[in-house]
Structure 1
Amino acid sequence: MNFKNNKILSALLLLTLTYTTGCYKDKSNDGLTPINTVQITDPLTAGTVTVFQGDVLRLKPTLTLSMTEKMDKLEFSWLVYNSNGQISLASPRAVISNQYELNYLIQGEPFILGEPYIVRLAVKDTETGVISYINYKVSIGNKYGTGWLVLEDKAGNGDLSFIFPDSTVEHQIYSSRNTAPLVGPKKLELTPFVITDGISDVGKRLYILAETGSQEYNYLTMVKKFDYGFEFYIAPTIQKPTVMTWLSTTSGSTRSANIGIVINNGKAHSNLVGGFPGTKKWGDIALTPQGTTNYSLAPYAVGGPGVAAMIYDNTSKRFYNIIAFSNTPGAGSLTAFPAIANTPGQFDLNNVGKTMIFQDSSDVVHTYNSVMKGDDNLPYLYRYKTANTSTATPNLSISNIQMNAPGILNYTAAASSTNTGHIYYSNANVISRYEVGSNSIVETYTFPAGENVTAIKYAKYNFNDKEAVKRARLVVGTWNGTEGKLYYFALSQTGSIGSYTKQFTGFGKIVDLAYKY
């Protein structure tokens, strides 16, 4: 009985205390100080903000204060972290600004190209300690992802320009992001597929070859990564690169590197990417089958399903094969091709007897056009393939003819079509269209006097040209002694040059072009 009375008494006491406390809070409201409330809004938070590397991320949300005079009592903090859950659910946080309006240059850490981020603004009322937040979803893009990369010579130093798919142009890309001069620019080398050499992060490669200062650059930002010598186990004593590329035995969108080839000072160096783990660099000078370095290579290297790397020696005037990684001693060395039967139309890869002056892809996949100069000072066209269809002896050679192509031995720039059987080449200010089938010049185009052609590249596809007639493009660089210009020619389905469709100005002397994608 006493136990029940105690429970009732305790309940009554608790009720009384609760009632009393409530009354105290109600009565105390008369003495409260008004609190400043902060609201942060921005319609940009409904989507994803994309900002390019090298540009400034600008964010300025709207602040709504219940007491506007308290603005000076606010503290701001912009925080960023990677929101890719596959990388880490606890990504490092970095404060990038303490200003109300964010103006942050996207260049290196903490931002990585292609990754998603949360950029958070925290607004703290220093009087009350109350913090308000707003989150932005930000993606880092690369505006130099697709377009024509142009290598220029400006009074002996190299620079880069970029032509975007919408035909806008940006100049001085190299000089705006690299401090070391690029002396004597010669060639662009871009890989169309991903490389896993262990030197750089997995991805495509960009090399710029020059008289001095040849280097590897970040494929996305075009900022210098490594000097030329760093790419070798032992840097060459003489550095005169003409080729620095990666070759694949496959084709299409699934290509991957089987071997890396450098031609430096006329000698071959290889990178056997598939044979061992860890960092892979270019090795020492490759030797001939006789164990010597008595050779001088033309500046071309190609590969395919039938041969890892095919090169041409202008000393012995013959082709060599470089085998990719294997358990045989021949890997990475110059290797002769097996003898072939005396088949009409074919030629002996090991005994051509002429000097190669130009080579490019043809209108047949894995087939190449090689222009040779004979001892008779006449031009010859040798066609061969890197896809072997014979299980007995290789049938890589296709044909050879004496060319009826006036001026081709002294060409200034050239490119083969991969749509039609044509080679486009220039002498001074004239472009000639040579037709393989008829062995003749079928069309010429003439620029103004004094505006000479310095570079030609053929592009089979362009994403902005939807009409079938514009599915191929010839890109031509010229120089008049003062200014470099670049032209687009929308080739017809039969390869006709016609008239140029676009002109771009403001370049230095254009020495090379490459389509970046």
Structure 2
Amino acid sequence: MKFNYINIITLLFFGTVLLSSCYKDDSNTNIETINKVELSDPKTASQIIIYQGDSLKLKPTLSQSMAQNIENLEFTWLLYNNNGAVSLAAPRDEIAKTYELKIVVKPDVFTLGEPFIVRLKATDKQTGVSSYLNYNVMVGNKYAIGWLVLEDKAGKGDLSFIFTDYNAEHGIYNDRNTAAIIGPRKLEISPFPVTDDISATGKRLYILADQGSQEYNYLTMIKKFDYSFLFFSTPAVINPTVMTWTSQYTYSGVRSPALGVAINDGKLHSNLVGGFPGVKKWGDIALNPQGNRNYSLAPFAVGGETFPAIVYDNIDKRFYRIQAYNPTPVAGTLEAFPAGASTGVSSVFDMNNVGMTMLFQDSADVINDYNAIMRDSGNQPYLLRYKTKNTTAAPVITLAKTAINAPGILNFSAAAGSTSTPHIYYGTGNALFRYETSSNAVVETYNFPAGENITSIKYAKYFIDKTGAKLAVATWNGTVGKVYFFSINTVGAIGTYTNMVTGFNKIIDIAYKY
């Protein structure tokens, strides 16, 4: 009886299961349809190039499988670096919570030259299901090539930029920096990358001023370091006139730095790049051959293959070559030239005993040659020409000494040397002169409108628009600053200007940035 009872119970259980499996399940008629969100934008097919200071605006196409309000969706825009060298664990920054993105590209978020992913996440609030759309964004540098302009705005400096199409953008310094430039003096740009282990290898940009002279990022023009930080020991008096890098050699067509030269308050500070690890800064004040600091250097420094750096002392009225390092003190030294570097011919000169005051110096039309405009005790201007490279067979580097025949050259307001033809361009008042060093005469003059006086001149041998050499001349009429561009032909002629850009304050200096 017990056995039969258990069997009956078992049969009843399986019968119930069988009947249940045969019952038609209509429960799927109660499943809720899920809203499907899709995002698309043709811009995702290529990289978006955006510049710092501009607005990044993105508006993708949104579609939903169900008709419902956009308010039922939650939007999140994320930003993260897409550089392969950066860890995948790098932070993802939330930059917006809107459907359409509009954000100013600022350097504290968007690093210049870096690739980024800008990701939109759209989430249905009811279901929690999300859709994604990725944009590839590269932060470009629109200030890579063109003319950088240093201006004086009531005693404070600012920067403008003239693009290769001769359009200008003003106020770019104040847009990027909070520290004011008090008493702007000069732009210093290295034409080659420098390795000093203070920051990444690259070109260097310095703005010299009465106060607050600083180093700036070459790409972004954002302040990097105070002037005093660039020295191992801060100078007691900050009065900068030169902060540059000279080049001694060219490797595979690329120039490399040999020596850093800073002239502050007329005194030399040197910086030896390469050769040893660690941070390289400018050293203490260099001593002259007499072992003292009784000298005052003209605001010019040049260098070449034989002599990496050469400067001129307007007290002892002579040239010095720079010895980059001396253990006592830890600084470079000013050294006399070897006796064989100067010729005994009276028509040339002695590098160690010139006897005149240097007014101007710039590159000549021969590589490693330089032209210097000097003034003797009787106010007679002279042109001295020398080279920074010699050979064993011909160690003499002095080339020429000529009494200059050029009106107003002792009172020039700006000047620039041509590296293509034997000319020096200089300005006096509103007149631009082309002085020919080979014939010792002014061969051309161009006059700007009355009262429009020349404040800066710069020469560029190669220009990005492939139209040949350019001469940039800045003027100031007391109200507005202008920059005139002249296309210089193969014989150095000025002609008439081809382009003019206006809207500046008083222009202190111009530099071609490339």
TM-score scaled by length of structure 2: 0.92
SS in 1 for 2:224: strand
Amino acid at match of 1:403: I
1:199 aligns with 2:201: no
State the distance in 2 between where 1:165 and 1:235 align: 39
Match of 2:484 among 487, 493, 498: 487
**Map 1:85-484 → 2, pairs under 5 A:** 85-251=84-250, 253-324=253-324, 332-340=332-340, 342=343, 344=345, 346-390=348-392, 394-464=395-465, 466=466, 470-484=467-481
Is the contact between residue 275 and residue 325 of structure 1 (CA under 8 Å) also seen in structure 2? no
State the distance in 2 between where 1:33 and 1:101 align: 30
Unaligned residue ranges in structure 2 (runs of 5+): 1-13
SS in 2 for 1:211: strand
State the distance in 2 between where 1:154 and 1:127 align: 58
The aligned residue for residue 501 of structure 1 is 498
Amino acid at match of 1:504: V
Match of 2:511 among 498, 510, 514: 514
Is the contact between residue 283 and residue 331 of structure 2 (CA under 8 Å) also seen in structure 1? no
State the distance in 1 between where 2:202 and 2:22 align: 68
The aligned residue for residue 9 of structure 1 is none
State the distance in 2 between where 1:472 and 1:300 align: 23
Deviates more, 1:269-278 or 1:427-436: 269-278
State the distance in 1 between where 2:169 and 2:182 align: 21
Identity of aligned residues (%): 57
Amino acid at match of 2:139: I
State the distance in 2 between where 1:68 and 1:164 align: 49
Q: CA deviation at 1:331?
A: 6.7
Q: Any idea what the Cα deviations from partners look like across 1:266-316, whole Å, max 9, x if unmatched?
A: 000011222432222111110012210010000001111111111010111
Q: CA deviation at 1:53?
A: 1.4
Q: CA deviation at 1:158?
A: 1.1
Q: Any idea what the Cα deviations from partners look like across 1:475-517, whole Å, max 9, x if unmatched?
A: 0000111111110011121111111111111111111000111
Q: CA deviation at 1:85?
A: 1.6
Unaligned residue ranges in structure 1 (runs of 5+): 1-12
Q: CA deviation at 1:70?
A: 3.9
Decide whether aligned partners of structure 1 residues 134 and 23 sit closer, same or farther in structure 2, where only a CA change above 3 A counts: farther
Amino acid at match of 1:298: A
State the distance in 1 between where 2:21 and 2:213 align: 84
SS in 2 for 1:398: strand
SS in 2 for 1:296: coil
State the distance in 1 between where 2:87 and 2:145 align: 30
State the distance in 1 between where 2:256 and 2:111 align: 24
1:65 aligns with 2:83: no
* RMSD of aligned residue pairs (Cα, Å): 2.3
SS in 2 for 1:303: coil
Decide whether aligned partners of structure 1 residues 307 and 443 sit closer, same or farther in structure 2, where only a CA change above 3 A counts: same
Decide whether aligned partners of structure 1 residues 101 and 290 sit closer, same or farther in structure 2, where only a CA change above 3 A counts: same
Aligned residues: 495
Q: CA deviation at 1:242?
A: 0.3
SS in 2 for 1:513: strand
State the distance in 2 between where 1:273 and 1:331 align: 13
Is the contact between residue 274 and residue 325 of structure 1 (CA under 8 Å) also seen in structure 2? no
Q: CA deviation at 1:327?
A: 8.5
Amino acid at match of 1:164: F
State the distance in 1 between where 2:24 and 2:94 align: 46
Is the contact between residue 270 and residue 331 of structure 2 (CA under 8 Å) also seen in structure 1? no
Q: CA deviation at 1:360?
A: 0.6
Q: CA deviation at 1:328?
A: 10
SS in 1 for 2:270: strand
SS in 2 for 1:183: strand
Is the contact between residue 158 and residue 182 of structure 1 (CA under 8 Å) also seen in structure 2? yes
Q: CA deviation at 1:58?
A: 1.3
Decide whether aligned partners of structure 1 residues 347 and 20 sit closer, same or farther in structure 2, where only a CA change above 3 A counts: farther
State the distance in 2 between where 1:22 and 1:266 align: 103
State the distance in 2 between where 1:141 and 1:300 align: 34
